[in-house]
Amino acid sequence: MKTTGNTILLTGGNSGIGRALAEQFHALGNRVIITGRRREVLDEVTRANPGMQSAVLDVRDAQQIATFAQQIVQRHPTLNVLINNAGIMKPENLSTSPVSLTDAEATIETNLLAPIRMTAALLPHFRSLPSATVMNVSSGLAFIPLALTPTYSATKAAIHSYTESLRIQLRKSNVEVLELIPPYVQTELMGSRQASDPHAMPLGEFITEVMQLLRDSPDAKEIRVKRVLPLRFSAEQGEAGYRKQLDGLNPMF
């Protein structure tokens, strides 16, 4: 992926990894449009980054996505990069009776259905351009689950698989398909405590390494910082190694 000269749509760009990516691409001179559900938060981001644009969008709403995709192409015909970043991560207790599905269903709608819908809505436009990029943000937990967040882990495994299939189907086209695989990062994805957790990778370090990888490895299909490699390649450790790592990731169960 080239890091300059783009018009980039980034979902969930109002905080965390999404905001940091948006600011880095904006600083490089790209035209960046971020989405989120709260106008006041989006306005705070764009005020801090003059020239960045924003749009209110609930990615859980299929009709909103369809309408938004049509409008964004009309307003920004040079749009050539989609970064599907919006996501939620909720703990779930599967031992309760009955099991509540509220968080699970919202997680599936946000983390899996939304990027599938957004990608499908924008692909006809992308196919009309000389080149375009779809980047899906998965997680190290796509490859080894955190039992505390079963649906989050499952959606990230699914988005990894979807991204692989999408890349194969589009490999003879002008659309490249990338996957960004974050480790545990200091954001507020699971609350304010995560943002200062010493076990998490500092957000600034993560973004710096990601941008360096994009610059140095423009043909890479997976963007993976060193810290995520043990998770990404957990299966390559063999069954015993995988089980040991799985148990180590889930000591509370």
- How confident is the model at residue 100, as a pLDDT? 92
Q: CB pairs under 8 A, 24+ apart, for 47-50?
A: 48/23, 49/22, 49/23
Structure tokens at 134: 């779809």
Closest by CA position to 123, among listed 75, 158, 166, 161: 166
With tokens 């995560």, the residue in question is 194
- How confident is the model at residue 47, as a pLDDT? 97
Question: 152 an active-site residue?
Answer: yes
Cα distances (Å, whole numbers) of residue 28 to 4, 24, 35, 145, 229: 6, 6, 19, 35, 27
Residue 23 within any structural domain of the chain: yes
Task: Confirm if 104 and 151 have CB atoms less than 8 A apart.
Answer: yes
Closest by CA position to 131, among listed 74, 73, 79: 79
For 48, the domain range is 7-249
**Amino acid in the structure at residue 253:** F
Cα distances (Å, whole numbers) of residue 1 to 85, 182, 218: 16, 17, 5
Residue 47 within any structural domain of the chain: yes
Q: pLDDT tens digits for the chain (253 residues)?
A: 999 999 999 999 999 999 999 999 999 999 999 999 999 999 999 999 999 999 999 999 999 999 999 999 999 999 999 999 999 999 999 999 899 999 999 999 999 999 999 999 999 999 999 999 999 999 999 999 999 999 999 999 999 999 999 999 999 999 999 999 999 999 999 999 999 999 999 999 999 999 999 999 999 999 999 999 999 999 999 999 999 999 999 998 8
- How confident is the model at residue 203, as a pLDDT? 98
Residue 2 within any structural domain of the chain: no
Residue 84 within any structural domain of the chain: yes
Residue 1 within any structural domain of the chain: no
Task: Confirm if 206 and 19 have CB atoms less than 8 A apart.
Answer: no
Residue 213's CATH number: 3.40.50.720
In the Cβ-directed half-sphere of 92, how many Cα atoms lie within 13 Å?
23
Catalytic position from the list 152, 162, 184, 242: 152
- How confident is the model at residue 156, as a pLDDT? 98
Prediction pTM value: 0.97
- How confident is the model at residue 178, as a pLDDT? 98
Q: Where are the alpha helices (DSSP H) in the chain?
A: 16-27, 39-48, 62-75, 102-108, 114-127, 150-170, 203-216, 229-232, 238-249
Number of domains in the chain: 1
- How confident is the model at residue 63, as a pLDDT? 97
- How confident is the model at residue 57, as a pLDDT? 97
Cα-to-chain-centroid distance, residue 143 = 15
Structure tokens at 200: 């998490």
- How confident is the model at residue 223, as a pLDDT? 98
